Structure 1
Amino acid sequence: MAHPPCQRWGRFWHGSTRKPHQFRKGEDEGCFAAALAAVRRWGGALEHPADSHAWAAFDLARPPRSGGWVRADFLGGWTCHVEQGWYGHFSRKPTWLYANGVDLPALIWGPGEQRLHPVALERHGYAKARRIGMAAMIGGKRKTEIREATPPAFRDLLLSIAASAVPAPLAGGK
């Protein structure tokens, strides 16, 4: 199971909106490339946030938001869009998976119900509460940890996918 750092591939790849473009898109010291190569070679799955710029950078097909496994590339890879909210995350947390050499399980597909933080709704109204999402209302010193956490049910699902991996044969039949 691979989970390369997503900070330089996501919506805020450039850094804080208060200090834009302090980073370069995809600047992850080769972590995504190494994770993708490992999954292609050894089998397994890779997890990244939905709409990750890494998919375009590595010529992977964008999965449909409606769900389902679709061909990701011409190397035997598959990709899908799934929301971790179906598996216990407090927000919908849309996620893309790339898998190769594994059994592709049926997942809970499609968008989950809209989740709005009641305090945000009361303070800011529907439009802003929807725009800022549930994660924006998480405060304290552990906000990043809480926001980025993978729910146990989703973790177990990912591990079961990885456990079904079959490595690709080496070139030359070895």
Structure 2
Amino acid sequence: MIAALYVEAGGAYFGLPGVDPWDEARDARKYAGPWPVVAHPPCQRWGRYWHGAPRKPHQHRLGEDGGCFAAALTAVRNYGGVIEHPKDSHAWRYFGLTPPPAAGGWVPADAFGGWTCCVWQGHYGHFAGKGTWLYAVPSDPALLPALTWGQSDSGPTPEMIERYGYAKARRVGRMALVGGKDKTRIRNATPPEFRDLLIGIARSAAREHVT
């Protein structure tokens, strides 16, 4: 069994055998074990626009996420597992974690047995590429998987080039040509292949952290 923390109600982690999903209603900050975790703490106050939208900056303070990332970090350190956050997340330096190299590879993150890496979800089915940082506490570092390292191809699709021309499609990127609410949904989604990878990392931590 693993616990999936900070996940969307009815989303990719629901209905899976051996997965206990914690959506907003359950409040993953209250998780107290005993299973290793896959954690997707909210990233709005840790990303590029942590302060607010470009047109209305300085609406928020860095890291004011209601304690979600801190609770996720505590859960992973206590019970094993993995945290997923956007590439260049300010949470890494805020909590004293070593930022991973963009080229890939697992590197030590802290003094708590944590390891970190940079991976692009485009290698695992994400439409937008989505550079991602992982923080994992495994039962044995040798169990951390070798991932597909390096930036994935997130350039224009053939359909975009045909519709808008190569120059515009390349300039604005894939997500700029996705309209309305679909943009947020697609960007935030965790592809099944990547979800299964994270679940595998969490399950590999179970032998030490769960008896």
Task: Answer yes or no: same fold by TM over 0.5.
Answer: yes
SS in 2 for 1:134: helix
Aligned with 1:125 (options 167, 172, 193) = 167
1:6-155 correspondence to structure 2 within 5 Å: 6-102=43-139, 103-116=143-156, 118=160, 122=164, 125=167, 129-130=170-171, 132-155=172-195
Give identity over the alignment, percent. Answer: 60
**So what's the TM-score if we normalise by structure 1?**
0.87
Distance in structure 1 (CA, Å) of the matches to 2:68 and 2:166:
39
In the TM superposition, what is the alpha-carbon distance from 1:134 to its structure 2 partner? 1.8
Aligned length: 167
In the TM superposition, what is the alpha-carbon distance from 1:168 to its structure 2 partner? 6.5
Distance in structure 1 (CA, Å) of the matches to 2:44 and 2:108:
25
Contact 1:77–1:98, Cα closer than 8 Å, also in 2: yes
In the TM superposition, what is the alpha-carbon distance from 1:56 to its structure 2 partner? 0.5
User: 5+ residue gaps in structure 2?
Assistant: 1-37
Distance in structure 2 (CA, Å) of the matches to 1:83 and 1:23:
28
**Corresponding residue for residue 157 of structure 1:** 197
**Corresponding residue for residue 172 of structure 1:** none
Structure 1 window deviating more from structure 2 (96-105 vs 32-41): it is 96-105
**So what's the TM-score if we normalise by structure 2?**
0.72
Distance in structure 1 (CA, Å) of the matches to 2:112 and 2:120:
25
Moved over 6 A (4+): none
In the TM superposition, what is the alpha-carbon distance from 1:113 to its structure 2 partner? 2.5
Distance in structure 1 (CA, Å) of the matches to 2:170 and 2:155:
9
In the TM superposition, what is the alpha-carbon distance from 1:136 to its structure 2 partner? 2.1
Deviations 1:123-143 (A, max 9, x none): 7936x844x432222113332
Distance in structure 2 (CA, Å) of the matches to 1:5 and 1:167:
28
Distance in structure 2 (CA, Å) of the matches to 1:60 and 1:72:
5
Distance in structure 1 (CA, Å) of the matches to 2:197 and 2:51:
31
- The one-letter code of the counterpart of 1:148 is N
Deviations 1:25-80 (A, max 9, x none): 11101100010011001000000000000001001001001100000011110000
